[in-house]
Every structure is written in C-alpha cells, then in structure tokens.
Structure 1
Amino acid sequence: MRAKLQYPPFSLKAIPICSLLLFLVFLILRSTFSYYPPPHPHPQAPTTTMLASTSSSSSASASDCPTTPLPTCTKIPPSLAHALVHYATSNITPQQTLNEISVSLNVLLAKSPCNFLVFGLGRDSLMWTSLNHGGRTVFLEEDESWIQQIQSQVPSLESYHVVYDTKVTQADQLLLEMSDEAACQSVVDPRFSKCRLALKGLPNEVYDVEWDVIMVDAPTGYFDGAPGRMSAIYTAGLMARNRESGETDVFVHDVDRAVEDRFSRELLCQGYLTQQEGRIRHFTIPSHRARSGKPFCPPQ
C-alpha cells in the first residue's frame, strides 16, 4: 500500500487518479441536482357575469396550479474535496495502475455506500475512502509508526494496528496445513477458528461488521522475513463465507508474486475468480451460511 518511489513535482500518474475522483464527484452531483421543468400554463377561465361562477372558477384554478419545487444543489462532500486537493498537490501517487484501480472502482460505484475493509494503509487510502463516500472504510496496518504518519496527514481515516505472526518463508508449510486440516475448511467467525491462518487478534469492530468489499494489499510480502499475506487472504475469504447472506467482493493485489498468486487461487478459489487485471484479482465469494453444506471451493 505504501509508495516506495519519489516522483517529480508534477507526476503524470496523478492525472488518472484525479480523473477518477472527478468522475465520482460528477456522479454524486448529478444524483443530488434535480431539474424541474416549468409547469404548462393553464388556459384562462372564461369571464362570467355571475359572481358565484367567478368565485368557483378562481378557487378551482388556484387548487389546480401545482407548486413548482426549487432545484436542489449539494456541495461536494468534504472527503472528496480533500482527496482532490491531496492528489492534485501530491508528488506520490497510488501504486496500483489506472486499469487495476478501475476494477475496484466499478464494484464500489455499484455497492457504495458500503462496508469496505482494506488490509494496508498508504498513500491511496484517502482515495479508497472517497470512492466509498457515505460508507465505512477501515484500514488494517502492521506498522504503528506508519499509522501515526498517515493519520497526522489525514486524521479522518479509520485504521487499526495488526500484528502478524507469520513469515513468507512459512508459506509452503502453511498451505500444506491448510489442505490437511479440517478446521481450515470450517466456516466460522475468525475469532473462534482453530485454523492457524485465521487472524484472531483484530479489533472487535472488524469482526462485528459484514464487509461488502475487502481489499488485500498488505502486509509486507516482498522479502523472506516479511509477514506475507497468507493470513490476510485466508481471513478475508473466511469473513466473506461467514456472512449471513449475500456475497463479498475480495481483491488481492500483487498477484505477480508467488504467495499472493498461490494463496489467492487456493484459499479464495479459482471458481470464485471474477476478473484479473494486471496485478490485481477480483473474487466474488458468496455466503456459505445461507446454504449449509457448500464446499470450501466450488467444483471445477
């Protein structure tokens, strides 16, 4: 989630990000601005010499004349305004490409406002929050000092510190345990799972929400001593399966790396894969509680 490269003062990569945010502003304003055409004029009542008839016609004319509502206009939401200024003036842009971001954007445009859980806190966090305007977006981050740094810049973000007890070097063994242990195939609240891959130390605020969209873009996984994303991917899939009903859209970034590639295919299931664009995969995982007896992965 963090940007690792410094860019010149004006970065061309900022243009597509600002374009996405401007497009979202347009959609919101269009939905909140209504145009009402003026009413058709009523034909004038004929003149009569009888007082009673004149009074009756005037009363009917007044009651038939509709009240024209005034057009309404809503200001740009503060989160969107803040995001536009932030990315227009920042030298650092999100690590996902425009095409990769567009995959998640299409889902958020259809589902927002929704519950959006993101593994990772970074320079793109304000963008994700803005794209889910009106919904709840929560970020889970492994580095406490990084949380403090980002929150000093964008204090409105909701983020929590997470401790991982795995290493990238353990990936093969963890995947083998996952295949052999029945507990890892059981669909339960992650807090009560007996599977080693389940994250059990997250804040209760995370477990108590049914997440509509989950993005796995952390923890760090590009060197052997890093935590890797094995537990994050498994827990995201478990939360999706354990929801009361409906389905969850799960995204995994950096699938060009071995761990993200293998674990997303094995734990989120090839049969639930909806789309891949560049280094991001989109899985649509249905509730397994709505219908008992569903296999962990659908048959191929």
Structure 2
Amino acid sequence: MKNNNSNTKLILLHPYIQKQGSSNRLWLLAFVSFFTLAFLLTLIYTRESTNTAGSAAAATIGSSTFGGAPLPTTVINTLIHYASISNHSFHMSYAELKQISDVLRKCSSPCNLLVFGLTHETLLWKALNHNGRTVFIDENRYYAAYVEEKHPEIDAYDVQYTTKLSDLHELVASTKKQIRNECRPVQNLLFSECKLGLNDLPNHVYEVDWDVILVDGPRGEWPDAPGRMSPIFTAGVLARSKKSGNAKTHVLVHDFYGDVERVCGDEFLCRENLVEASEMLGHYVLERMDENSFDFCRNMSTTTAPKAAAASSSS
C-alpha cells in the first residue's frame, strides 16, 4: 500500500513575495488616485476658464457695442420722455430736455459737461452724457453728499455762494469796474478775487476744457437767495479761457425769464452769442478768447434792454 502523503507537494510563499504583491497594489492604488485627482482638477479648471472666458467675451461685446458708443436715439428719446412726464413739480418740459439733449448729442466725444445745480434731471444728464465727464456743483453740501452716497456714479461738489440776489445790480457794476483786473474774461478763477468768480471749486474743475455748461442753480428767488450771478459769470470765464479742444462752448441757462438770468446773460455771455431763447431756456455759444482780451462782448451795445434796442432800431 502506497503512502499518498509521498505525492503531496507543499508550496510555501516567502514573506518577501507577499510584501512585494501588497506593495504593487499600493502603488497601483496611488497611481489611480493621482490620475483621478488630476482629472478632477483639470475638469474644474477647464470649467472655470470657460466661464471666465465667456464673461470676458460678454463684457467685451457689451463694451464694444454699447459702452464705447453713443446712446442709441431710441434710448435717448425714452429717457427724455419719462423724465418729462414725472410728477415732480420742478421738472423740465420735454422741449427743454430735448434742446439740452440735442446739444449734448452734437458734442464731441467724450463730452465735458459742467452742471450748476443738483435737480430732478441730475441722473438724466449723467446718462445722456454717456462716456463723457459730468460734474455737478450745488450750494447744499448735505444734499451733494446725499446724492453721491445714493448714486456713487455721480460726481458732485458743494460751493459756498457769498452773493445775494438783492445785490444784483451792485455786483454787476462792481464786476465791470474790475474787468481789466480781477474780473477779466480770460483767467484762472482759482486765483481770482472777483466777487462773482467762484474760486473755491476743486482744482481740476478749472483745468478741464468744458464743452457744455448748464446753469440750473442755485435755487431760490427771494432777496437773500444767492442768485445765479456767480455761475453765469464763472461759465463765461471758463468758456473763454479754454486751452485746448473745441474752441466753442455751449452755455445753457435755465429759468431764463428771471432778471438775474437776463441781466447777467447780457453782460457776461452776451446777446451776440445767444443762438436760441425762450422764457425757460437761453442757449449761448461762446468762443475761446485771447488772454489779453478785456471785453466780454464784442458789441457792447448788446447790454441794452430788449425793448430799448427794438425802439432804437425802428427809429
């Protein structure tokens, strides 16, 4: 009888071989984990890059088709329409808004617009002067701060007027006496002591060559109100003192029915420069002048009252 145990073969695995197999599995697991992680990171990065590129492309398209171009006519007309039908008691009419809008549309781009007065139309002027520089000057420092806080895109500054409406004729006479000194038509008002010149505005206001100046402030028609003598005089000097850019400046005076607006308009903006006028809006076009000029108006007889001038011409 044969012993079956003699045919049995015993196979033993060396501990080193067992360790080697386990090590290979660990390396395989590490290799797969690494490439899985790399794949996930690549996927996330690619998705973020795609989104960023898409956003950048959208921004580029937006700036090229709208941001860098003038506002479309339909947008301008819509803005004017809704501004004119506002329930605000002191808003401008459609005709007034349209007249000012037409001036801004003809302005070279970018247009520099200076506005005296923070009013119901403030946001409209900022919007219509798309891509241009728009600066607002107001007599109420608290309201100017409020507007800037509520609308950070608005660039507003306050000014302290030292004039009184009741002193209109005295101030005009005093200014005319100093026309060759402190109240010259061509000068840097930052260093001027002229009573009607505004010399406490931010420095850069005097450095900008303004294309359009709108006088719609300060508010008030009572005797102690500051009146618009200083803004009108300042507008006349800024327009004539331009250093570069377009030689012409459009000056628009709102509430043109007032004595201050008429008298100061005749004296410092000049009737010879008046291209369009109604009871509510006067539109002047002033040209840059030589620094040695000392007359605001070429034809000094333009300061004659309208009725007197008409009577003399008929005779």
Verify: 1:282 aligned to 2:283, yes or no: yes
Verify: 1:96 aligned to 2:83, yes or no: no
CA–CA separation in structure 2 for the residues paired with 1:186 and 1:121:
26
**Could you tell me whether the CA contact under 8 Å between 1:240 and 1:286 is conserved in 2?**
yes
In structure 2, the CA distance between the partners of 1:167 and 1:113, relative to structure 1 (3 Å rule), is: same
SS of aligned partner of 1:185: coil
1:106-117 superposed matches below 5 A: 106-111=102-107, 112-117=109-114
CA–CA separation in structure 1 for the residues paired with 2:138 and 2:226:
12
Partner of 1:257: 258
Q: Cα distance, 1:186 vs. partner?
A: 4.5
Q: Cα distance, 1:278 vs. partner?
A: 3.4
SS of aligned partner of 1:191: helix
SS of aligned partner of 1:239: helix
Deviation by residue 1:161-195 (Cα, 9 ceiling, x = unmatched): 11111111111100111222232234111112342
Which protein has the larger Cα radius of gyration, Structure 1 or Structure 2?
Answer: 2
Deviation by residue 1:227-271 (Cα, 9 ceiling, x = unmatched): 111111101100001112511110111111111111111111111
Unaligned runs of 5+ in 1: 1-71
Verify: 1:197 aligned to 2:188, yes or no: no
In structure 2, the CA distance between the partners of 1:153 and 1:123, relative to structure 1 (3 Å rule), is: farther
Q: Cα distance, 1:105 vs. partner?
A: 1.2
CA–CA separation in structure 2 for the residues paired with 1:224 and 1:117:
26
1:108-187 superposed matches below 5 A: 108-111=104-107, 112-181=109-178, 182-183=180-181, 184-187=183-186
RMSD between aligned alpha carbons?
3.0
Q: Cα distance, 1:93 vs. partner?
A: 7.3
- The residue identity in structure 2 corresponding to 1:228 is G
Deviation by residue 1:130-182 (Cα, 9 ceiling, x = unmatched): 11100000000111221233234322111011111111111110011122223
**Could you tell me whether the CA contact under 8 Å between 1:211 and 1:248 is conserved in 2?**
yes
CA–CA separation in structure 1 for the residues paired with 2:293 and 2:276:
26
Partner of 2:295: 295
Runs of 4+ residues over 3 Å off in structure 1: 86-94, 291-295
Length-normalised TM-score, structure 2: 0.65
Aligned length: 227
Fraction of identical pairs, as percent: 37
In structure 2, the CA distance between the partners of 1:258 and 1:186, relative to structure 1 (3 Å rule), is: closer
- The residue identity in structure 1 corresponding to 2:206 is Y
Unaligned runs of 5+ in 2: 1-62, 302-315
In structure 2, the CA distance between the partners of 1:73 and 1:123, relative to structure 1 (3 Å rule), is: same
CA–CA separation in structure 2 for the residues paired with 1:294 and 1:255:
26
SS of aligned partner of 2:262: helix
Q: Cα distance, 1:197 vs. partner?
A: 1.0
Length-normalised TM-score, structure 1: 0.68
CA–CA separation in structure 1 for the residues paired with 2:85 and 2:273:
39
- The residue identity in structure 2 corresponding to 1:295 is D
Verify: 1:74 aligned to 2:75, yes or no: no
- Larger % of helix: which? 2
SS of aligned partner of 2:96: helix
Partner of 2:216: 217
Of stretches 89-98 and 156-165 in structure 1, the one that deviates more from structure 2 is: 89-98
In structure 2, the CA distance between the partners of 1:73 and 1:143, relative to structure 1 (3 Å rule), is: closer
- The residue identity in structure 1 corresponding to 2:281 is I
**Could you tell me whether the CA contact under 8 Å between 1:221 and 1:229 is conserved in 2?**
no
**Could you tell me whether the CA contact under 8 Å between 2:190 and 2:200 is conserved in 1?**
yes
